[in-house]
């Protein structure tokens, strides 16, 4: 009898262990997607034109995945342009081969070829996005990534009744690549976009909008999670819903301390999740997106609209208008960003580096270089620490991994070579801007503080900067020149926002910190496509750590060739 009890006890233990193992295995899955890069005819604003799409969709398909899953995305290029896709905000630990920026971690996928992006989604959940990372093709080649928490793990905020993805973008009536080329030939900024869009549609404030307005149906008393992504090429945007408040609960796939606002600010590359309750008189309300620009520069100042539509309300009812901040409302922008704080809970801590091994100080500058073939004999350029980055013809990560000489140098300066009153009177000189493929070498697992300083070379301007392969903590920001003696004392080292893309305020500075625990070559650039093309970019080569578990993975066999 005792032996029988022992047998059944062992059998039950085996069953329980088996069920637990099955549960773990069933939670992690391989998710596969097919992305066909193809040209499709699309009509907006009474203009029809061929655009580059994924699977004929504009915007492209949403990727749904769960934390812990593995993604395999086969990208097949049928278009006339070379292509690469970046999975914006995915950390890609040791696996820069799947990161996607052309000539940084891979050579582009040529016409008629394909490449399988293969990576794990580890330690991340929330809203991210994907986009083309070559030329200006991300104007139409982009889409959302929704990472759900692991099975059985709730949101750290009330469960919404439903959720919706809102991709904010830009539309040009002309061919986008032709617009960029014309600007480069003239040496001037290219034409601004003709409209902003919400999920690829400009809304009823524009002509030919009957089929080109996005509407979201809601029910009175229910709550909705909006996953908002700024996919625009060159514009920071305000967003709001007429008559409704929004509670911010996440930025860049990191949970935040909730706060309520009537409008939010979102820079190109950033994502923001908000909770909205349908608690107003049933009707139709505009969701609106409009540019924020507090520098004396020409922008597309037209407002994109979509409709927050209560169930049962006829479409003949005119929507209520949103009240967004003014175009140049700097005080709102600064105040909004100050409200962003990491959740910093026991489950989701903010592991801010308190000791810094490497201090970097980068100035952001615009300038003029000689261009005999351009309209005024000069061409606009952009630089970090007076260095305008030159894209290589061989991918940096491949050159680093294979120890190939002559592709890049690791002598990017930690500080600018020339100091001056950065945000004082406008300066027209470009301080002898140098050009080159110069990047910075960072020791594995070292902690880095980087202060980004805007300058008044030609003009001050806000700049959203994106770091590939990492999140970072935004420990401080301010207007004017950064003061090394006074400003660090004001840092938030308790619960600063954790992001992958951060805005440097117009005529101001931003300080970020991160731990360099992801070996490889990682792009760092302004996410205004205009400025990236002018050279406002560089990269970090993070050295391998001790042993194979802290070293860059071998390259896949099907890596595109240059």
Residue corresponding to tokens 């005024």: 376
What is the token pair recorded at 492? 């938030």
In this predicted structure, the answer to whether residue 17 has a pLDDT above a threshold of 80 is no
Find how far residue 421's CA is from the centre of its chain: 31
Question: 399 in helix, strand or coil?
Answer: helix
In this predicted structure, the answer to whether residue 431 has a pLDDT above a threshold of 80 is no
Question: 288 in helix, strand or coil?
Answer: strand
Least confident of 2-16, 302-316, 466-480, 521-535: 2-16
Res 426: pLDDT: 82
- Mean pLDDT, residues 19-45 taken together: 78
Q: What is the mean pLDDT of the chain?
A: 93
Find how far residue 417's CA is from the centre of its chain: 30
Distance from C-alpha of 133 to C-alpha of 501, rounded to nearest angstrom: 15
Res 296: pLDDT: 87
Strand order of the β-sheet with 501-504 is 440-442, 537-542, 520-526, 463-467, 501-504
Distance from C-alpha of 8 to C-alpha of 199, rounded to nearest angstrom: 58
Q: Under a CB-based contact definition with an 8 Å cutoff, are residues 513 and 449 in contact?
A: yes
Q: Under a CB-based contact definition with an 8 Å cutoff, are residues 298 and 229 in contact?
A: no
In this predicted structure, the answer to whether residue 361 has a pLDDT above a threshold of 50 is yes
Res 4: pLDDT: 42
Q: Tell me which DSSP letter residue 147 carries.
A: E
In this predicted structure, the answer to whether residue 3 has a pLDDT above a threshold of 90 is no
Res 376: pLDDT: 83
In this predicted structure, the answer to whether residue 259 has a pLDDT above a threshold of 50 is yes
User: pTM to 2 decimals?
Assistant: 0.94
pLDDT bucket at 27, cuts 50 / 70 / 90: low
Res 528: pLDDT: 96
- Mean pLDDT, residues 508-513 taken together: 98
Q: Tell me which DSSP letter residue 388 carries.
A: E
For 222-237, b/e burial (b = at least 16 CB within 10 A) is: ebbbbbbbbbbbbbbb
pLDDT bucket at 5, cuts 50 / 70 / 90: very low
Res 523: pLDDT: 98
Least confident of 134-138, 424-428, 492-496: 424-428
In this predicted structure, the answer to whether residue 526 has a pLDDT above a threshold of 50 is yes
Q: What is the pLDDT of residues 436-482, one digit of tens each?
A: 999 999 999 999 999 999 999 989 999 999 999 999 999 999 999 99
- Mean pLDDT, residues 243-263 taken together: 98
């Amino acid at each position: 009898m005792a032996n029988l009890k022992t047998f059944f006890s062992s059998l039950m233990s085996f069953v329980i262990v088996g069920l637990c193992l099955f549960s773990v295995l069933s939670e992690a899955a391989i998710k596969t997607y097919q992305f066909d890069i193809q040209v499709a005819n699309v009509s907006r604003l009474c203009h029809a034109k061929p655009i580059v799409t994924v699977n004929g969709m504009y915007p492209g398909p949403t990727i749904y995945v769960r934390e812990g899953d593995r993604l395999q995305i086969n990208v097949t290029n049928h278009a006339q342009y070379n292509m690469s896709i970046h999975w914006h905000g995915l950390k890609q630990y040791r696996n820069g081969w799947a990161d996607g920026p052309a000539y940084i971690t891979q050579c582009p996928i040529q016409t008629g070829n394909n490449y399988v992006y293969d990576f794990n989604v580890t330690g991340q959940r929330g809203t991210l996005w994907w986009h083309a990372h070559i030329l200006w093709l991300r104007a139409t080649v982009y889409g959302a990534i929704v990472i759900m928490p692991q099975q059985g793990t709730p949101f750290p905020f009330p469960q919404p009744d439903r959720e919706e993805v809102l991709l904010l973008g830009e539309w040009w009536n002309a061919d986008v690549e032709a617009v960029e080329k014309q600007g480069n030939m003239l040496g001037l900024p290219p034409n601004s976009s003709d409209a902003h869009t919400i999920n690829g549609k400009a809304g009823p404030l524009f002509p030919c909008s009957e089929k080109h307005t996005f509407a979201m149906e809601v029910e009175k008393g229910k709550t909705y999670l909006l996953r908002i992504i700024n996919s625009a090429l060159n514009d920071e945007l305000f967003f709001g819903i007429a008559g409704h408040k929004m509670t911010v609960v996440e930025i860049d796939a990191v949970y935040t301390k909730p706060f309520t606002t009537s409008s939010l600010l979102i820079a190109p590359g950033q994502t923001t999740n908000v909770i909205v309750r349908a608690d107003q008189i049933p009707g139709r309300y505009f969701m609106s997106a409009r540019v924020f620009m507090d520098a004396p520069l020409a922008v597309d100042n037209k407002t994109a609209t979509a409709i927050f539509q209560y169930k049962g309300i006829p479409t003949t009812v005119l929507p209520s208008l949103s009240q967004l901040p003014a175009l140049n409302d700097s005080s709102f922008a600064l105040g909004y960003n100050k409200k962003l704080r990491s959740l910093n809970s026991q489950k989701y801590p903010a592991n801010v580096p308190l000791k810094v091994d490497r201090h970097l100080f980068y100035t952001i500058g615009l300038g003029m270089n000689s261009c005999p073939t351009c309209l005024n004999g000069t061409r606009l350029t952009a630089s970090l620490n007076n260095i305008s980055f030159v894209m290589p013809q061989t991918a940096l990560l491949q050159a680093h991994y294979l120890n190939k000489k002559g592709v890049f140098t690791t002598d990017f300066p930690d500080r600018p070579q020339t100091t001056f009153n950065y945000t004082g009177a406008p300066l027209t000189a470009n301080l002898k801007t140098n050009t080159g493929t110069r990047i910075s070498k960072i020791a594995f697992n070292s902690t880095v503080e980087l202060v980004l300083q805007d300058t008044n070379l030609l003009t001050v301007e806000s700049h959203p900067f994106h770091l590939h392969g990492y999140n970072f903590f935004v420990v401080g920001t301010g207007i004017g020149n950064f003061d090394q003696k006074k400003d660090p004392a004001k840092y938030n080292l308790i619960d600063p926002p954790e992001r992958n893309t951060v805005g440097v305020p117009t005529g101001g500075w931003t300080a970020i910190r991160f731990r360099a625990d992801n070996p490889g070559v990682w792009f760092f650039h302004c996410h205004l496509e205009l400025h990236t093309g002018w050279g406002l970019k560089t990269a970090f080569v993070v050295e391998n750590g001790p042993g194979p578990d802290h070293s860059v993975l071998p390259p896949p066999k099907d890596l595109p060739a240059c």
